[in-house]
Amino acid sequence: MRKKIVIGNWKMNLNLNSAKELTSRIIELHKTNTVDVGICPPSIYIQAISSLTKGTKILFGAQNMFYENEGAFTGEISPQMLKDFPVDMILIGHSERREVFKETDEYVNKKIKAALSLDLLPVVCVGESLKIREEGKAEEWVKSQVIKALDGLENSQVEKLIVAYEPIWAIGTGKVCEAEDANKIISMIRETIKAKTNDSASKKVRILYGGSIKSSNFFDIVKYENIDGGLVGGASLKADEFLKIVEAAEKAQSVTLK
Ligand code: PGA
């Protein structure tokens, strides 16, 4: 059985003190091993925050990196640099990177390969815009993003991935995707992965939902067997609320629906 995971994406929020306080509170409140919990602070706080999560149950993630390990890439952070800290995972292809910073599917694929080559766990984000959803092309769009992300990967690499389905219209808007609908798309993602690899690899990949997750709506989503957790933005900035979301995943771990 896959272990559910809840990951907080702090985006470009907090300052050094509030980031340290939030981290300490999450470490203090997260007691069980039933589900995995991760946090992704802003890059400039990697050193400070990873020194707090080191040796705890909390997984540490970075929000971004480039795919080359060194060179003339002003302002970028390399996978190799992340390895100087205890960084466990890396967000790749978040819609804000794709939309605001024009990152392409090709970039996403290169970043996944760079991360895997250094044993960083890629959390690969996919999801459709409102326009694409309204045109009835959401499944087609997400399927194509998944296929391009997996291009050239061995089955043994694919099975290590975490994929996050984040419909863009649900991110930061308060409009959460209907649970059944999220389950349908996430099941389609698993089928797509199975077609590209095999049954065993597709069963190992953890596939999360993201977009306006709150403690009040999350159990309804994460109760599905196919939905392995959540990528949480706004609600991950308050320790108590974030831990309630983690509790919903813990409850769901034992009561999963087909
Ligand atoms: P949100 O963001 O929870 O604030 O909607 C989710 C995300 O962008 O990962």
Q: How far apart are CA 14 and CA 73, in angstroms?
A: 26
**108 CA to centre of ligand 1 in angstroms:** 19
Ligand 1 nearest-atom number relative to CA 11:
8
Residue 177, number of CB atoms within 10 A of its CB: 26
Q: How far apart are CA 151 and CA 200, in angstroms?
A: 18
Q: Where are the beta strands (DSSP E) in 133-180?
A: 162-165
**In this predicted model, what pLDDT tens digit does every residue of 162-215 receive, in sequence order?**
999 999 999 999 888 999 999 999 999 999 999 999 999 999 999 999 999 999
- Give 1's contacts (C-beta < 8 A, 6+ positions apart): none
The strand pairing partners of 125, in sequence order, are: 164
CA dist list (Å): 67 to 15, 111, 186, 231: 27, 5, 27, 22
CA dist list (Å): 231 to 38, 118, 134, 196, 222: 9, 23, 24, 24, 11
What are the backbone dihedrals phi and psi of residue 123, each rounded to the nearest 5 degrees, phi first?
-110, 100
Say if residues 192 and 146 touch (Cβ distance below 8 Å): yes
128 lines ligand 1 (CB under 6 A): no
232 lines ligand 1 (CB under 6 A): yes
Question: What is the average pLDDT value for the chain, to the nearest integer?
Answer: 96
**In this predicted model, what pLDDT tens digit does every residue of 128-161 receive, in sequence order?**
999 999 999 999 999 999 999 999 999 999 999 9
pLDDT of 3 reads 95
Give the active site residues.
Answer: 94, 166
Q: Confidence class of residue 258 from pLDDT cuts 50, 70 and 90?
A: low
Cα angle 55, 57, 59; round to 5: 90
- pTM across the whole model: 0.97
Residue 146 corresponds to which tokens in the numbers above?
A: 């998944």
**In this predicted model, what pLDDT tens digit does every residue of 97-112 receive, in sequence order?**
999 999 999 999 999 9
Residue 164 corresponds to which tokens in the numbers above?
A: 């996050």
